[in-house]
Amino acid sequence: MKFLQELIDENAVKLADSQIVIDLIRRELKKHEIKADVVLGGSAAKNTYLKDYDLDIFVRFHKNPDSDLLEVVLKNAFKKVERLHGSRDYFRIYYKGIEYEIVPVLKIIRASQAENVTDVSMLHVEWVKKHLKNPEEVKLAKLFCKAQDVYGAESYINGFSGYILEILIVKYGSFMKLMEAVSRWKPGIIIDVANHYKNRQAVMRKLNIAKLQSPIIVIDPTQKDRNAAASVTLETFCTFIFAARQFLENPSKKWFVKRKFSIKEIMKESKKLNTVLT
């Protein structure tokens, strides 16, 4: 459809050159004789970023990721370094007016080696870069989900993260095929793009019960005991299905502009799915 290409063109933006920042960090790490790789991560590395993209740089320590040590390194390289608290503290810097988040992680080759949830992030990047053939289709999915308020795994949204959408595009192949699939979804659907499990029963046996509570289970291709969609709520799930059905009935750019569905509309759609929203 012509308007889909127009959307891609309208949202195209040149990525800031992060190589200078990466090189500055590498230089300071070398001075301190710290063994670590410095790489671009997130949607920027996967080429699935939108106009409001973040620039995440991962410092992959070969052993013992150390936020305190990284803080010293960064303060030697940049004028202003802000420490942010998380499961492992990370940092925000600005270079030539561009904001960067610098994240210390352990360099791993499999998820079972992770000491912290952030350690797995680069495995996600590597998997997406290897399997995603059409990043522009992910950008369309992100734009659509943003407009429907179902994009993001944050607790105030409980929606579909960028990583989930990347997995879904790998599975279905394009944005339009994703919409067709979503329009037919029912609660309890399991998506296992890496074919970690032989059948539904195997998934139910392996995953922790807490990870089976969401209306959709998306097996993380890099971590087979993780449901990447564990935070998706029934309300968000039904909203996505309803939006996909409405879009397919009348495809147009308007579905990529934020609008509000009425509670009546969503409740009506949930009844079709034999579900109850509370």
Q: In what order do the strands lie in the sheet with 223-227?
A: 189-191, 216-220, 223-227
Q: Could you report the per-residue pLDDT of 3-29, keeping only the tens digit for each?
A: 999 999 998 989 999 999 999 999 999
Q: Residue 99's pLDDT band (boundaries 50, 70, 90)?
A: very high
d(CA 278, CA 260): 18
Quick check: 178 and 168 in contact, CB under 8 A?
A: yes
Examine the domain organization and report whether 33 and 100 are in the same domain: yes
Task: Tell me: do 57 and 74 sit in the same domain.
Answer: yes
- Give the domain range for residue 244: 135-272
Q: Is 80 exposed, middle or buried (0-12, 13-18, 19+ CB in 10 A)?
A: exposed
Residues 28-58: tens digit of each pLDDT = 999 999 999 999 999 999 999 999 898 999 9
Position 2 in a domain: no
3 falls within a domain: no
Indicate yes or no: pTM above 0.85: yes
First to last CA, the chain: 37
pLDDT of residue 168: 98
Question: What CATH number did the domain enclosing 23 receive?
Answer: 3.30.460.10
Residue 278 lies in a domain: no
The answer to whether residues 91 and 154 belong to one domain is no
For residue 242, what is the domain's CATH number? Answer: 1.10.1410.30
Least reliable range by pLDDT among 114-123, 215-224, 234-243, 265-274 = 265-274
User: Is 210 in contact with 225 (CB distance < 8 Å)?
Assistant: no
Binned at pLDDT 50, 70 and 90, residue 258 comes out as: confident
Which residues are registered as beta bridge partners of 90? 84
Q: Which sign, positive or negative, has the C-alpha torsion 127, 130, 134, 139?
A: positive
User: Which token pair is 246?
Assistant: 């409405």
Mean residue pLDDT across the chain: 93
159 within a domain of the structure (yes/no): yes
Q: Which of 84, 107, 131 is the last residue of a domain?
A: 131
Q: Is the dihedral angle over the CA atoms 264, 268, 273, 278 positive or is it negative?
A: positive
